Amino acid sequence: MWHYLSNLLIAGNVGIMVFFTVAVAPTIFTALPPEWAAAYVRKFFPKYFFFLGVTTALATVGANGLVAQAALLGCAAVFFFSCFWLTPRINRARDEKRGAEFKTLHWTSVGLNMAQLLVLIGLLIPGGRAA
């Protein structure tokens, strides 16, 4: 039963991450004025990273094997790193109009998020370690 719940959490997280990437993010910046979009994103991302961190950490309980548990704990740690360290620095760089630093931090965040997504998908593929 724990394996099943672990896979449900992982699949749910994959769904959240894909939906945000494909539907929410592109819509925010085309549907809202820039100042509203920026305000929304600042409120959204800490919650997004925190929720995904908690649910990914919970998924380790039912993961099958040490490799899957390590992968999930690593992803959870990166979600918390993004929530508590990276996002505040991205916001500060934007506020202080340090464009190059903002760009570097933002693309670091995007890259980490995509890497986590690939790890989570890999755990769901038959032969993966979570099931």
Domain ranges (residues) in the chain? 2-124
**Sequence-separated (6 or more) residues with CB below 8 Å from residue 35:** none
Question: How many angstroms separate the CA atoms of 83 and 57, rounded?
Answer: 14
**pLDDT tens digit sequence for 54-98:** 999 999 999 988 999 999 999 999 999 999 999 999 999 999 999
As a whole number of Å, the CA-based R_g of the chain is 16
Q: What is the pTM of this model?
A: 0.92
* Coil, strand or helix at 63: coil
Find the mean pLDDT for residues 35-44. Answer: 93
pLDDT at 64: 86
